[in-house]
Structure 1
Amino acid sequence: MKDRAHDDAMAEIFREDLVFATQYLNDVLEEGDQPDLLIALRQIAKAYGGVPAIAEKAHLNPTQLYRTLSAQGNPELRSLTAVLKAIGLRLAIQPLHHT
Structure 2
Amino acid sequence: MTKTETRPFDAAEFLDTDEAVAAYLQDALESGSAEVFQTALQTAARARGMTEVAKASGLGRESLYKALRPDAHPRFDTVQRVLAALGVKLTAEPAPVARSA
Where on the TM-score scale, by shorter chain, does this alignment land: which range? 0.7 to 0.9
2:14 matched residue in structure 1: 13
User: Amino acid of the residue matched to residue 92 of structure 1?
Assistant: T
User: Amino acid of the residue matched to residue 35 of structure 1?
Assistant: E
1:77 matched residue in structure 2: 76
Structure 1 residue 74 displacement after superposition: 1.3
Q: Decide which structure has greater helix share.
A: 1
Q: How far apart in 1 are the matches of 2:51 and 2:20?
A: 23
Report percent identity of matched pairs.
30
Number of residue pairs aligned between Structure 1 and Structure 2? 91
Structure 1 residue 84 displacement after superposition: 0.7
Q: Report matched runs for 1:38-57 at 5 Å.
A: 38-49=38-49, 51-57=50-56
Gap runs ≥5 in structure 1: none
Q: TM-score of the superposition, structure 2-length normalised?
A: 0.77
Q: How far apart in 2 are the matches of 1:24 and 1:66?
A: 20
